[in-house]
Amino acid sequence: MNDFAHLLDRLAYEPRRNAKLRLLQDYFTHAPDPERGYALAAMTGGLTFREAKPAMIRGLVEARIDPVLFGLSHNYVGDLAETTALIWPAPTSRSDEAVVGPGHNNPPPHVPTLAEVVETLGTVKKADLPARIAEWLDALDETGRWALLKLITGALRVGVSARLAKTAIGALGGHEADAVEEVWHGLEPPYATLFAWVEGRGERPTTLNPAPFRPPMLSHPIDEDGDFEKLDPAAFSGEWKWDGIRVQLVGGRDAAGAQVARIYSRTGEDISGAFPDLAEAITFSGAIDGELLILREARVQSFNVLQQRLNRKAVTPKLLEEFPAHVRAYDLMHAEGEDLRPLPFSERRARLEAFVAALDHARIDLSPLVPFATWADLAAARADPAAVGAGEDADAIEGVMLKARDSAYLPGRPKGPWWKWKREPFRVDTVMMYAQRGHGKRSSFYSDYTFGVWRAREDGAPELVPVGKAYHGFTDAELQKLDRYVRNNTTKRFGPVREVAYGLDHGLVLEIAFEGVQRSTRHKSGVAMRFPRVARIRWDKPAAEADRIEALETILARGEREIAPGETLTEAQG
Amino acid sequence: MSFSASDLLTLTREGLYCPLGGFHVDPTWPVPRALITHGHADHARAGHGRVLATGETLRIMAVRYGAEFCESRQEAPLGQEIRIGNVTVRFAPAGHVLGSAQIAIEAQGVRVVVSGDYKRAYDPTCLPFEVMPCDVFITEATFGLPVFRMPDTRDEVKKLLDSVALFPERAHIVGAYALGKAQRVMALLREAGYDRPIYLHGAMEKLTELYKQEGIPLGETPKVVATERAKLHGAIVLCPPSSIQDVWSRKFPDPVTSFASGWMRVRARARQKGVELPLCISDHSDWPDLCRTILETGAGEVWVTHGQEDALVHWCGTQGIKAKPLHLLGYGDDGEAEPAAAPEEAA
C-alpha cells in the first residue's frame, strides 16, 4: 500500500504526461502481483466496494485528537483526508518502545497491502469497518494514510486517466494502448493474465466477452489553408458531425446463448447502465459505431438537452421518457462474428446500411451521407446544413466529417483517412478580468484568463461580469506579451490569481471563440461557454466596446429552441 | 505589586522591549539598541544603533547589509551572562540557522526566554537547540498546528535523489531560503553521498561562501552561468523560492520544480506554488517539538509571537499553562504572499 501511495503522491504533483507515464511504468515494473493489478484497477475505476463516509473518518480522528485542534487544522488544510493523514497519531513511537523495553509483546503494526485493503473492503461488515480503517491508519505512513482515505472515500483523483494507465501497461511489453484496450473488457482485477502477457510470460488474454469494446477510429481537424488542395473530393465520403457523445453498441451471445448488450463510451467505459432504453435495442450480434443523441418527435436535440440526461445519477422512468436516447449509426465494426474493420469504408457503409435496415429499430438510425462533388459544395453544406438535407436537425450538427472511401477502420487517430471540419465557432469580444498562473511548462506564466462581458447593473450602470476562462489559442510569443500585460496591470493578488485592471476606459479585449452556450448556476452570469479559447488579442480595441451579455443570451436562446418533453412540434414552434 | 515578566518585557511599535535594559529584541524598525536572535531579514534589520548578537549573526548581517549595518556591534558569546542596565542576558543556541540564538533575560528573580525562531530537528549546519528553564517562554508558532509533524529530513533528501535518478535528463530546481535552508539542504545532500556539484542561483552565493568560511563543508557549489543553463541535465540547482516560478528557471532542461519548506506539508500550498516535488524540510519547530519544548522549559506562562497561535494557546490551556498571543507584526509567518513580495526567509 505504501508503494502505491507514494506513486499516487508523485502523480498528484506531476503535470507532464510523459513524466506520469514514466512514474507509472516504473511502478508497474517493480510492484508485485496482485498489488499492481489492484493499483491499475484503482486508477481505471475498476474497483467496487463499500465506501467510507466522511463522518465516520471524522469520528475516528476525534476519538484520538482534541476536536478543537482537529477543527483548527481541518480549516487550515481544507481537506478531510489530508488533515486526517497528517494529524493521525503514531500508535507506538520508538521512545515508547524504549520505555516498555525488550520482551514486551508489542509486534510492529502490520502494513496492509493494497490487495488486502481492496479484498477486505469487499467483504467487511459495516459495523467492523471503522475498526479496520483505524488499524490500517495506525500501520501506514502519512502518504499511505492519505492515499487510503482518498481510495476508501471514493475521491481518488490523481490526474491519471484510464487511457494513460493502459498506455503505461502496454509500454511494458512494447504494445500500444489500443492493444490493451482490445483485451481489456474480458479482464478482471488484479489482471494477472494481462501482466503476464505484456511481460512476455503468457499468451495474449483471449477475450471471452461476447460484447467487447474495440478502440474507436478518430479523426484529425482539417487545416483549411493547406489540406484541401492535397485531397481529392472524389476519394471521400461526407457525413454530418453530430454534437452528441461517441458510443459503440455491441451485442453478442454468451456461452449459455443469452444475449449480451453493451454500450461503451469512446474511452471504453461501459455506460450500458445509464442507457437501458438504448441497450434494449441491441438485439443483434455485432458492433455499431455511432453518436448517442436525444431525439424528441424524431428531431435531434442539442447537446444541452443530452447533458441534462448525462448529469443525472439515477435513471428514472421519467428521465427515460423525457430524454429518449438514440444512436445515429455511422460505422459497422463487427457483424455476426465477422470483423469488418479491415474492409474499406465504402464496403462497411453498404454493410451498415443493410444492417440498420434489417434491424429496423426506432432507436437506431443511419447517419446520412452528405453528397458533394467539390470542396466548395462541402463548404456550403457545412455553412448551412439545413439547406442540404439536415433540416430541423441542423442545430445539433457541429460540422462535417470526411472519410476516405478506401480506408480500413483503424483504432486510434491515424493521420489521413478521417478528417473533421467543424462549423465556424461563435465569437464574442470580452475583457480580461483575472489571470492565473499555468502549470508545467507554463508555470511561470499567467496563462489562464477569466474574461467578462458587459451587463447593466441594477442601477443601470454598466459592469463586467465573468463568463468564462480560456487558457489556449495563443502562441508562445503572445503568451509572453499577455503575461507581461498581466504583471504590469495587476490590481489585486489572490495566491496564484491576479486581478487585472478593467473598466470602461481600461482593459484588454480578448476575442473568444467557442462552440456554444449553456445555462450555468456556477457562474454569476448564469451562462457558461463550451470550449472557449482566445481567437485574437485585441490590443487595439477599447474595453467599452466589448460585447454585452445579451450576445450570449441570444445564442443560448437559439440552443434552447428544443421541444420540451410532452410538447408537440407545433406547440414548441409557436 | 510584585515584579513580573510583563515589567521585564513590554510590547512597543518596534516589537519586544526591555525597559530595565533599554533594548529591543529583533525590532522591526531602527532602534538605539537591539538584541538580535538570528540573521533572517525579518528579525535582523539594518540601521540600529548598537547591536548585540552572536558572532555568526553579526557576520551574516554584514554580508547582507554591508559592513556598516549599524553604529556599533558587540558579539555575544553563547552561554555567557552579559549585564545590560539592570538586567542580565544570556544567549543559547536555537538550532534555527547558523548563529541563531535564544535570549534569556533576567531581573529580580524572574526569567523570560525569547526563543526567536527555533527547531529541534537535525541540522548539520548549526548548533542544536538548548533548553533554558524559565518562568515565561516566548515561542514562535509558525507550524503551530498538529498537522505539522515534519518527516525525517533524510527521507526528503532521498526523494530528491530518487527523482534525479528517475529523470536523469531533467534539471531539478530546488527553491530554498537563501540563509539556512539552502545550506542545510546542501549539507544533507552531501551526507546522503551526493558528491556532484550543486549549482547555485546568484542570490545564494555570498551566504553559502560565508557558511564555508565558518567551517561548514558543503562541497563544490558553482554559480549557475546563465548561458549554460540549458546544458545542466540531471543537475541539482538551488535558488530562492521566488525563482522557481520565474522565467529564469524555465531555461533549464525540462525542469522539475521542487521546494524545500515546512509549508510543503500541505498539498494545496505546494500546488499553489506549482511545485512538483515538495520537500518537507523545515527550519522551524513542528507541533510535537513546540509542545515538548514548552514542557521542558518548565515555564508557567507562554507568550506566542507569530504563526498559528490559536492552536498552541489552546493546547497550553489543556496543559494548565497560562498562554497568550502577542500578535507581533512584521515577522514572516504565513507564506501566503507572492514569493517576490514576501520576506525572503518567511518560512
| Percentage of residues of chain A with pLDDT beyond 90 | 57
3-state secondary structure of B152: coil
Better-scored residue on pLDDT, A426 or A445: A426
Q: Are residues B66 and B161 in the same domain?
A: no
Nearest-angstrom CA–CA distance, A410 and A140: 46
Q: Are residues A494 and A531 in the same domain?
A: yes
Integer angstrom CA distances of residue A99 from A94, A110, B153, B292, B294: 9, 21, 25, 17, 22
Integer angstrom CA distances of residue B162 from A2, B270, B286: 16, 19, 25
Inform me whether the pLDDT recorded for A93 exceeds 60: no
Q: Are residues B59 and B132 in the same domain?
A: yes
3-state secondary structure of B80: coil
Confidence (pLDDT) at A444: 65
In CATH, what number is assigned to the domain containing residue B304?
A: 3.60.15.10
Judge whether A574 is closer than 8 Å to chain B, CB to CB. no
Q: Are residues B272 and B307 in the same domain?
A: no
How far away is chain A from the Cα of B143, in angstroms, using its nearest Cα? 11
Confidence (pLDDT) at A284: 95
Confidence (pLDDT) at A456: 92
Q: Residue B122 region, left (φ>0) first, then alpha (ψ -120 to 50), else beta?
A: beta
3-state secondary structure of A94: helix
Confidence (pLDDT) at A247: 96
Domain-embedded: residue A415: yes
Confidence (pLDDT) at B219: 96
Could you report the per-residue pLDDT of B291-320, keeping only the tens digit for each? 999 999 999 999 998 888 899 999 999 999
Domain-embedded: residue B346: no
Q: Which of A368, A397, A400, A391 minimizes the C-alpha distance to A297?
A: A391
Of A78, A87, A441, the CB nearest to B268: A78
- Taking residue B314's Cβ as centre, other Cβ atoms within 10 Å add up to 15
Inform me whether the pLDDT recorded for A344 exceeds 90: yes
**Residues B220 and B197 sit within 8 Å (Cβ to Cβ):** yes
How far away is chain A from the Cα of B25, in angstroms, using its nearest Cα? 30
Nearest-angstrom CA–CA distance, B118 and B334: 17
Q: Are residues A405 and A386 in the same domain?
A: yes
**Residue in chain A lying closest to B312 (CA):** A69
Confidence (pLDDT) at A92: 53
> Is the Cβ pair A69, B315 closer than 8 Å?
yes
Q: What is the mean predicted confidence (pLDDT) over A421-432?
A: 92
Q: What is the mean predicted confidence (pLDDT) over A113-139?
A: 92
3-state secondary structure of A212: coil
Confidence (pLDDT) at A58: 94
A252 lies in which domain range?
220-422
Contacts A–B by Cβ distance under 8 A: 78
Q: Are residues B170 and B191 in the same domain?
A: yes
Angle between helices A35-43 and A17-30 (to 10 degrees): 150
Q: For all residues of chain A together, what is the average pLDDT?
A: 87
> Is the Cβ pair B310, A72 closer than 8 Å?
yes
Question: How many helices (H) and strands (E) would you count in chain A?
Answer: 21, 20
Q: Are residues B11 and B142 in the same domain?
A: yes
The model's confidence at residue A114, banded by pLDDT at 50, 70 and 90, is very high
Q: What is the mean predicted confidence (pLDDT) over A37-49?
A: 86
Residue A450 half-sphere exposure toward CB, CA atoms < 13 A = 19
Helix (H) or strand (E) holding A551: helix A549-559
Domain-embedded: residue A213: no
Angle between helices B181-191 and B153-166 (to 10 degrees): 70
Of A14, A22, A72, the CB nearest to B311: A72
Domain-embedded: residue B344: no
**Residues B290 and B118 sit within 8 Å (Cβ to Cβ):** no
Confidence (pLDDT) at B203: 93
Could you report the per-residue pLDDT of B29-75, keeping only the tens digit for each? 999 999 999 999 999 999 999 999 999 999 999 999 999 999 999 99
Judge whether A494 is closer than 8 Å to chain B, CB to CB. no
Inform me whether the pLDDT recorded for A509 exceeds 90: yes
> Is the Cβ pair B146, A13 closer than 8 Å?
no
Contacts of B270 in chain A (CB under 8 A): 13
In CATH, what number is assigned to the domain containing residue A137?
A: 1.10.3260.10
Q: Are residues B130 and B188 in the same domain?
A: no
Residue A76 half-sphere exposure toward CB, CA atoms < 13 A = 27
Domain-embedded: residue A573: no
Domain-embedded: residue A195: no
Could you report the per-residue pLDDT of A198-253, keeping only the tens digit for each? 999 999 988 678 888 888 999 999 988 888 989 999 999 999 999 899 999 999 99
Q: Are residues B140 and B172 in the same domain?
A: no
- CA distance between the termini of chain B: 40
**Residues A411 and A215 sit within 8 Å (Cβ to Cβ):** yes
Q: Are residues A411 and A457 in the same domain?
A: no
Confidence (pLDDT) at A267: 79
Partnered with residue A252 across adjacent β-strands are A260
Q: Where are the alpha helices (DSSP H) in A153-241?
A: 162-172, 177-184, 192-198
Q: Are residues A398 and A493 in the same domain?
A: no
Domain-embedded: residue A212: no
Confidence (pLDDT) at A303: 83
Nearest-angstrom CA–CA distance, A169 and A25: 7
Beta strands B322-325 and B301-307, pairing class: parallel
- Choose one of B217, B250, B279: the last residue of a domain: B279
Of A15, A65, A82, the CB nearest to B146: A65
Q: Are residues A391 and A269 in the same domain?
A: yes
Q: Are residues A288 and A401 in the same domain?
A: yes
Q: Are residues B66 and B83 in the same domain?
A: yes
Partnered with residue A468 across adjacent β-strands are A451
**Residue in chain B lying closest to A89 (CA):** B146
Inform me whether the pLDDT recorded for A560 exceeds 60: no
Nearest-angstrom CA–CA distance, B99 and B22: 23
Q: Are residues A405 and A431 in the same domain?
A: no
Confidence (pLDDT) at B334: 36
**Residues B311 and A72 sit within 8 Å (Cβ to Cβ):** yes
| Percentage of residues of chain B with pLDDT beyond 90 | 84
Question: How many helices (H) and strands (E) would you count in chain B?
Answer: 8, 18
One-letter amino acid for residue A224 of the chain: E
Instruction: Please classify residue A567 by burial: count the beta carbons closer than 10 Å to its beta carbon, then call 0-12 exposed, 13-18 middle and 19+ buried.
Output: middle
Strand ranges for A159-296 from DSSP E = 220-221, 236-242, 245-253, 259-265, 286-296
Q: Are residues A244 and A98 in the same domain?
A: no
Q: What is the mean predicted confidence (pLDDT) over A454-477?
A: 91
Domain-embedded: residue A180: no
Q: Are residues B287 and B273 in the same domain?
A: no
Q: Are residues B296 and B263 in the same domain?
A: no
Nearest-angstrom CA–CA distance, B81 and B6: 21
Could you report the per-residue pLDDT of A250-302, keeping only the tens digit for each? 999 988 889 999 999 987 888 999 999 999 999 999 999 999 999 998 889 88
> Is the Cβ pair A86, B271 closer than 8 Å?
no
Nearest-angstrom CA–CA distance, B88 and B70: 23
List all residues 6 or more positions away from A123 whose beta carbon is below 8 Å from its beta carbon.
none
Of B146, B267, B272, the CB nearest to A87: B146
Is the alpha carbon torsion for A14, A16, A20, A23 positive or negative? Answer: negative
Better-scored residue on pLDDT, B16 or A182: B16
Q: Are residues A469 and A498 in the same domain?
A: yes
Domain-embedded: residue A279: yes
Out of A277-286, A516-525, A541-550, which region has the weakest mean confidence (pLDDT)? A516-525
Partnered with residue A573 across adjacent β-strands are none
**Residue in chain B lying closest to A24 (CA):** B166
Q: Where are the alpha helices (DSSP H) in chain B?
A: 5-8, 55-65, 153-166, 181-191, 205-213, 267-272, 287-297, 309-318
Inform me whether the pLDDT recorded for B336 exceeds 60: no
> Is the Cβ pair B272, A496 closer than 8 Å?
yes
B→A interface, C-beta within 8 Å: 145-149, 151, 166-167, 245-247, 249-250, 254, 257, 265-268, 270-278, 308, 310-311, 314-315, 318, 336, 338
Confidence (pLDDT) at A379: 93
Cell 469520528 sits on residue: A59
The model's confidence at residue B179, banded by pLDDT at 50, 70 and 90, is very high
Nearest-angstrom CA–CA distance, A346 and A406: 7
Instruction: Rank A29-38, A82-91, A477-486 by mean pLDDT and report only the highest.
Output: A29-38
Inform me whether the pLDDT recorded for A157 exceeds 90: no
Integer angstrom CA distances of residue B58 from A59, B44, B94: 51, 9, 16
**Residues A275 and A441 sit within 8 Å (Cβ to Cβ):** no
Contacts of B314 in chain A (CB under 8 A): 66, 68-69, 72
Q: What is the mean predicted confidence (pLDDT) over A380-404?
A: 88
Q: What is the mean predicted confidence (pLDDT) over A337-349?
A: 95
Q: Are residues A343 and A300 in the same domain?
A: yes
- Choose one of A422, A440, A465: the last residue of a domain: A422
Q: Where are the alpha helices (DSSP H) in A108-266?
A: 114-123, 129-139, 142-152, 162-172, 177-184, 192-198
Overall domain count for chain B: 2
Domain-embedded: residue B330: no
Contacts of A436 in chain B (CB under 8 A): none
One-letter amino acid for residue A491 of the chain: T
List all residues 6 or more positions away from A63 whose beta carbon is below 8 Å from its beta carbon.
none
**Residues B168 and B233 sit within 8 Å (Cβ to Cβ):** yes
Overall domain count for chain A: 3
> Is the Cβ pair B147, A77 closer than 8 Å?
yes
> Is the Cβ pair A66, B278 closer than 8 Å?
no
Domain-embedded: residue B334: no
Q: Are residues A384 and A490 in the same domain?
A: no
Domain-embedded: residue B339: no
Of A26, A82, A443, the CB nearest to B267: A82
For an interface test with B, give the residue of A7, A17, A69 to mutate (most B CBs within 10 A).
Answer: A69
B80 lies in which domain range?
5-147+283-325
Helix (H) or strand (E) holding B257: strand B256-260
Confidence (pLDDT) at A218: 92
Q: Are residues B164 and B229 in the same domain?
A: yes
> Is the Cβ pair B147, A76 closer than 8 Å?
yes
How far away is chain A from the Cα of B71, in angstroms, using its nearest Cα? 38
How far away is chain A from the Cα of B102, in angstroms, using its nearest Cα? 27
Confidence (pLDDT) at A126: 86
Q: Are residues A123 and A228 in the same domain?
A: no
The model's confidence at residue A175, banded by pLDDT at 50, 70 and 90, is very high
**Residues A307 and A559 sit within 8 Å (Cβ to Cβ):** no
Q: Are residues B13 and B30 in the same domain?
A: yes
Supply the pTM of this predicted model. Answer: 0.69
In CATH, what number is assigned to the domain containing residue B168?
A: 3.40.50
Confidence (pLDDT) at B341: 28
3-state secondary structure of A299: strand
**Residue in chain B lying closest to A436 (CA):** B272
Domain-embedded: residue A166: no
The model's confidence at residue A405, banded by pLDDT at 50, 70 and 90, is very high
The model's confidence at residue B328, banded by pLDDT at 50, 70 and 90, is confident
In CATH, what number is assigned to the domain containing residue A363?
A: 3.30.470.30
> Is the Cβ pair B147, A73 closer than 8 Å?
yes
Could you report the per-residue pLDDT of B121-137, keeping only the tens digit for each? 999 999 999 999 999 99
Inform me whether the pLDDT recorded for A96 exceeds 70: no
One-letter amino acid for residue B293 of the chain: T
